[in-house]
Structure 1
């Protein structure tokens, strides 16, 4: 929901960072892997209840995720790069929720609900992307993406804000997870409805 507005603000910065990375000989896939490593470290830090460190690592992960895309658009996106980007993102998203279950076992049900919700949002837009490519659909939803991206209430910007909030206030995790998970399901329902209309 907020991705389009957020991109207008951060894209110029990401483009400058991508140019600097390119001048130093870095590739988009290398940045993706470094970002993934930061994401895995985030999971470990949360499990150890080192929430401030986890927040820094998560922000590094998300920054790398922005730079790799900007660099890919500069030098030419690849299918492998697009694949790695989305797969590794969802591993980190679900892994972060799982880490809260490790850190707070008494709140594992909230973490399970959040992972369940991520499955809905992830599968609903990835499945649509398959058929959008098959039918050669295009439009704004595909702009600057490796595939057709079906929007919704909870997109990348909202997910980052959610993670920042729960890392700043880990005691809020159960309530925040149920609220955000519910918003994810509203997104999933909306995407399924949109898919029914467009693919019918």
Structure 2
């Protein structure tokens, strides 16, 4: 819901960082993989309840997620392969963070984590399945032309997900409630994407 407003705000700082990396021969795929590895460190950090360190890993991962695309556009290295590995690793990372909270306190967090992962399946599959069909039909993507795939909007997008992950880390004792609320938003997103995507493709 908020990505159309937040993404334009990040273009200039990401472009500046991308120019710095490009001058040092860093490739977009290298940024993607490093960001993923840094993000995955949040899993053990969360499991051992180092929430501040986990939050830093999460934020660095999200910075890298924006930076690899900016670098690809700047260097003319945009590709389907890059877009594929980027979104694939994103969903693995999101699931890992939720798993980290489940491991931190199984008695309190496991059920909420399972519900949120269930909701993530809905948002992720509806998002990616539509992108495949949109690519085959050459459907335009007016709000996010810089994306490597069709970016299907919804109530919970990248910005809302980052906000949720930050809140989880800042208020870990409220994870079941926060995760439940976010899961509800994700399920609404999945339902609206499935409905809207079906009628768009018809």
Could you tell me how far apart the structure 1 residues matched to 2:60 and 2:96 are? 16
Superposition TM-score, scaled by structure 2 size: 0.97
**Runs of 4+ that moved beyond 2 A:** none
CA shift for structure 1 position 139: 2.9
- Equivalences for 1:140-151 in 2 at 5 Å? 140-151=142-153
Q: 2 CA distance for matches of 1:53 and 1:166?
A: 13
TM-score normalised to the size of structure 1? Answer: 0.98
1:130 corresponds to 2:126: no
The 1-side partners of 2:38 and 2:2 are apart by 24
* Aligned residue pair count: 200
Is 1:15 the counterpart of 2:15? The answer is yes
Deviations 1:28-85 (A, max 9, x none): 0000000001111011110110000001111111111111010011122011110110
Instruction: Tell me the equivalent position of 1:70.
Output: 70
For residues 110 and 70 of structure 2, the distance between their equivalents in structure 1, rounded to whole angstroms, comes to 36
Considering only aligned residues, what root-mean-square deviation do their CA atoms show, in Å? 0.9
- Does the Cα contact within 8 Å between 2:141 and 2:151 map onto a contact in 1? no
| Contact kept in structure 2, 1:15 and 1:70, CA below 8 Å | yes
Q: Cα offset for 1:13?
A: 0.4
Tell me which moved more, 131-140 or 108-117: 131-140
Unaligned runs of 5+ in 1: none
